[in-house]
Chains A and B, each alone.
Chain A
Amino acid sequence: MELLIFFIFGGVAVLAAFLMIISWNPVAAVLNMILVMFCLAGLFVLLNAHFIAAIQILVYAGAIMVLFMFIIMLLNLRGNEPIWKSRDKNVLLSFLGFLLAVGAFIKLFSTLKASGLNQGTQIGEDFGTTALVGKILFTDYLLPFEIASILLLVAIIGAVMLAKTKID
């Protein structure tokens, strides 16, 4: 059962990611990306990380992708014309790139399969709960957690500095 759900989520995620890349329509690309985020959240739930799953949807699907949509609407990309142009005469290069990607994937897959990572890890009863995540953040990773706040502050300043029409 769990394996079945895994393959559903995993399969849809891969498919949606693929559709996201090949779609000309920016909104369709964004929607597919939201679907990817959803499936990832589903995979997190399968891994017992409920808190991360909820945050994944809240932050990525709910907040960040909305901003993507917002920008698309502001630029009024209607999806009638391609938003980027493909370069001409790169058939050979793309073929070589494709071969490289496939080769790398096969190699990765076979080595990972041989590396014996498929035995499960024992996890505690309260694994993935909000309480435990919070506890770890405020004990083991206290400093990184605090630094992250400075990081976000800097990002905010940057957004304001680079986007504001007139700085006073």
Chain B
Amino acid sequence: MEDFLITTAKVLFIFGLNMGVFAPLLTWVERKQSALMQDRIGANRADILGFSMIGLFHPIADAIKMLAKEDFIPEGANKIMHTLSPIICVVPALLTFAVIPFGGEYVIGGKHIKLVIADLDVGLIFIFAISSLATYGTVIAGWSSNNNWSLLGSLRASAQMISYEVAMGFTLVGVFMVYGSLQLTQIGAAQESFFRWGIFLQPLGFFMFLACAIAENKRAPFDVAEGESEIIAGYFLEYSGLKFGMFYMAEFLEIVTISAMVTTLFFGAWHIPFISSALILSMLSFLNETLANIILMLIHISVFWVKVIFFIWFQMTIRWTLPRFRYDQIMKLGWKILLPLSLANILVTGIVILILQ
């Protein structure tokens, strides 16, 4: 029963944070970020009684707008598939968080608590497996809309996602090799010391993973699948109202997931540079064990999310900095540059591990 409650609490925490905080807030962040970079003011019109709160009411206005809009299904579209696809997009984005740890292991009231919903042995492979399903959302959306632009968009999307999934998998093989585990909690725990962070052990892996992950999420500069200026909005052209919002939500949730993965794999997960958990605990030794552990846990959780927020900002910046690639350039980058490089990365990692033994 206690275990059940703890797990429920973890699920609620992640779910609430993602759906309640990140998903709505990121629409605002995206607007603000773009305004900032384009030297505009932006997102300041929505106000309540004259208070615009630097545009923070926009997410609420957005939500009301989406709920109130007509849910339009085009003629000749497959109704079931049309409704199903936004759901297929959102669910994988949320599910992947099940194996991402947002903190270490703590002893609270004599109980060992791991801050991860499901500590699977197959960890990362689970993430790949689930996120590979997200492709169906886009593919079915484009197919079921009965619109040529949508179909073009989903063709582009599926080809791109399949291509980059391969490279993304390979970029992380180096990480498995270095830490000797697929379990994200173990990978996180192994980065206790600053110089064991993934970014130092797998620098190439980090950059390639980030590129692949952004391409998987189909955000600029890899957003040919939407390509407003070419194919209007691609696969979700024929969507309106809440379903349209769900596609956006899926995209933002995926940004959070990517940031969380980058943090866990390459940036020391919940660890603070040069300050080990033991050090914090010894500083807190005047408190009893449970209380000290709770404080440590809170520190770690906030450190983790601060890192995540940094990478969210980083992705936003990339989004508004780089122009869209041409389609053949994307394919060339995926198959001819990233894939061979990631294989070379595996080879070099293997050789180095062999030498160091």
Contacts and interface: CB of A to CB of B under 8 A. Distances in A.
Bind each other:
yes
B165 A62 contact: yes
Contacts of B155: 70, 73-74
Contact of B165 (A53, A54, A63, A131): A63
B140 A27 contact: yes
Contacts of A69: 136, 139-140, 143, 158
A167 B162 CA distance: 25
B81 A27 contact: yes
A62 B143 contact: no
A29 interface: no
A57 B129 contact: yes
Interface string B286-314: 00000000000000000000000000000
B162 A55 contact: no
B120 A58 contact: no
A58 B168 CA distance: 13
Contacts of A53: 122
Interface in B175-206: 182
Q: Which of A53, A55, A69, A79 lies at the interface centre, i.e. has the most chain B CB atoms within 10 A of its CB? A: A69
B135 interface: yes
B136 A34 contact: yes
Contacts of A25: 78
A61 interface: yes
Interface residues of A, number: 27
A76 B140 CA distance: 13
Interface in A66-117: 66-67, 69-70, 72-74, 76, 78-79
B132 A61 contact: yes
A53 to B, nearest CB: 8
B162 A63 contact: yes
A76 to B, nearest CB: 7
A131 B121 CA distance: 9
Chain A at the B interface: SS class: helix
A128 to B, nearest CB: 8
Contacts of A34: 136
B352 interface: no
A62 B121 contact: no
Given A58-B128, A62-B128, A73 B121 contact: no
A129 B182 CA distance: 10
Contacts of A73: 139, 142-143, 151, 154-155, 158
A151 B18 CA distance: 44
A66 B132 contact: yes
Contacts of A129: 121
Nearest to A77: B143
Nearest to A79: B78
B108 interface: no
Nearest to A66: B135
B331 to A, nearest CB: 14
A27 B143 contact: yes
A62 B129 contact: yes
Interface string B117-158: 000111001101110110110011011101000010011001
Contact of A130 (B122, B128, B136, B142): B122
A54 B158 contact: no
Contacts of B146: 78
A126 B40 CA distance: 58
A62 B162 CA distance: 9
A55 B169 CA distance: 12
Q: Which of A51, A53, A66 has the most C-beta atoms of chain B within 10 angstroms of its own C-beta?
A: A66
Given A31-B140, A70-B162, 18 more contacts: A27-B78, A27-B140, A27-B144, A31-B81, A31-B136, A50-B121, A50-B122, A54-B125, A54-B126, A54-B128, A57-B130, A58-B128, A61-B132, A62-B133, A63-B132, A66-B135, A69-B158, A78-B146
Interface of B: 78, 81, 120-122, 125-126, 128-130, 132-133, 135-136, 139-140, 142-144, 146, 151, 154-155, 158-159, 161-162, 165, 182
> Which 5 pairs, one residue from A and one from B, show the smallest C-beta to C-beta distance?
A62-B132, A57-B129, A58-B129, A54-B125, A54-B122
15 contacts: A27-B140, A27-B144, A31-B136, A50-B120, A50-B121, A51-B122, A61-B129, A62-B128, A62-B129, A66-B135, A66-B158, A69-B136, A70-B158, A74-B155, A79-B78
